[in-house]
Amino acid sequence: MTSTATPSRYTLLESDPHAQRASFAEAVAQGLGTDPKSLPCRFLYDAQGSDLFEEICRLPEYYLTRAEREILERRADEIAACAGPCEELVELGSGSASKTRLLIEAFLRGGRRLRYVPIDISRSALAESAKSLLGDYPRLEIHAIAGEYERGLRHLRADADAPRMIMWLGSNIGNFDRADAARFLTHVRDAMREGDRLLVGIDLRKDRRSLERAYDDASGVTARFNLNLLARINRELGGRFELDAFRHEAIWRAREGRVELSLVSRRDQEIAIRALDLVVKLRKGERIHTEDSFKYSLKEIAEVAREAGLCVVTRWFDAAERFSLNLLARADA
């Protein structure tokens, strides 16, 4: 943080870097030591990965960010009005928070001050976004939390009684399978009080071509983002992956309603990972599954909300109806 930001308006709850490295090592050993192989997607977002993801968000093929921004640009005041009085805005997986600005502005128009609580696994993204937000909004206070969603839930449970809205944007819900999404939303619901609202950005089911291009763009940025996971193993765990021995793959499975993302081995190979004392064997054509991105129908959105004890208060779409923003409340409130 530079001296231009007022330190008293900013606090950061740090994550323990040793614990983070240990959990990465453990996840890699587990995911590559079994068959079929996989790596958890949250590790895509180190500093390099977060920068590449920002680049993805600007790609012509990646419509999600633009569609969600379009809704916020048109409807931020309406969303703020529907959410009611709000002194705290909590965001799960805040990233660069560039879309969140639109809501911060709307809430600041309606109230005197606002506390923003961004929770993100990337410390670099938290630091950069906080710096620019504090510079732009003198009535904003930021309490940043570095870490996984679990820490965010702890904050939600511990926090006293300011009226608040919780945001989970970018269709990050899609990176959970449907049962886990319901389970996670149940935990959020349990931490919500009667007047609290939850705003969830959810990408909608659509044609194969749009979806596969969104996750496999012509300029290869998404491929680099995915391959960065192997580069990260090389950097942090002494891995010996050759990135050009893998290709990025995105396949839409309509029945399951998800885009499956993997790295496919271009040849038979053996890769040593020094810090894990492990040699990973891959056959030609074998996949390392890195992420699923689930898409929803309106019925599926209502279902996942209901399973979590939540209900949809209102929802908004972009003009082309590719993406939805859903305002949820406790079903029993």
- Where on the chain is the footprint of ligand TRP (CB under 6 A)? 41, 44, 56, 64, 170-172, 174-175, 215, 222, 225-226, 261, 290-291, 293
Q: How far apart are the first and last CA of the chain?
A: 40
Q: Which is nearer to ligand TRP, 20 or 175 (CB)?
A: 175
Q: CA Rg, the chain, in Å?
A: 20
Residue nearest ligand TRP by beta-carbon distance: 293
Tokens 């890195």, residue located: 290
CA gap 43, 233 in Å, rounded: 10
Q: Reduced to 3 states, what is the DSSP secondary structure of residue 271?
A: strand
**Tokens representing 4?**
């231009």
Q: Which is nearer to ligand TRP, 114 or 214 (CB)?
A: 214
Minimum CB separation from ligand TRP for residue 229, in Å?
9
- The residues pairing with 273 across neighbouring beta strands, listed in sequence order, are 239, 278
Minimum CB separation from ligand TRP for residue 172, in Å?
5
**DSSP letters spanning 131-163:** HHHHHH-TTEEEEEEES-HHHHHHHHHH--S--
Minimum CB separation from ligand TRP for residue 54, in Å?
11
Q: Which is nearer to ligand TRP, 170 or 239 (CB)?
A: 170
Residues 265 and 255: beta-carbon distance below 8 Å: no
The CA dihedral of 210, 212, 218, 224, to the nearest 10 degrees, is 140
CA gap 104, 89 in Å, rounded: 8
Write down the H helix ranges in the chain.
17-32, 47-57, 63-83, 100-110, 123-136, 149-158, 178-191, 208-214, 221-237, 298-307
Regarding beta strands 258-265 and 287-294, do their DSSP bridges make them parallel or antiparallel, or are they unpaired? antiparallel
Q: Which is nearer to ligand TRP, 20 or 222 (CB)?
A: 222
Q: Which is nearer to ligand TRP, 250 or 282 (CB)?
A: 250
Minimum CB separation from ligand TRP for residue 292, in Å?
8
Neighbours of 309 (CB within 10 A): 18
Minimum CB separation from ligand TRP for residue 144, in Å?
20
Minimum CB separation from ligand TRP for residue 175, in Å?
5
CA gap 249, 251 in Å, rounded: 7
CA gap 202, 296 in Å, rounded: 7
Minimum CB separation from ligand TRP for residue 91, in Å?
14
Q: Which is nearer to ligand TRP, 120 or 291 (CB)?
A: 291
Q: Which is nearer to ligand TRP, 64 or 89 (CB)?
A: 64
Q: Which is nearer to ligand TRP, 80 or 227 (CB)?
A: 227
Minimum CB separation from ligand TRP for residue 223, in Å?
9
Asked if the bond preceding 7 is cis, omega within 30° of 0, the reply is no
Minimum CB separation from ligand TRP for residue 57, in Å?
9
Q: Which is nearer to ligand TRP, 196 or 291 (CB)?
A: 291
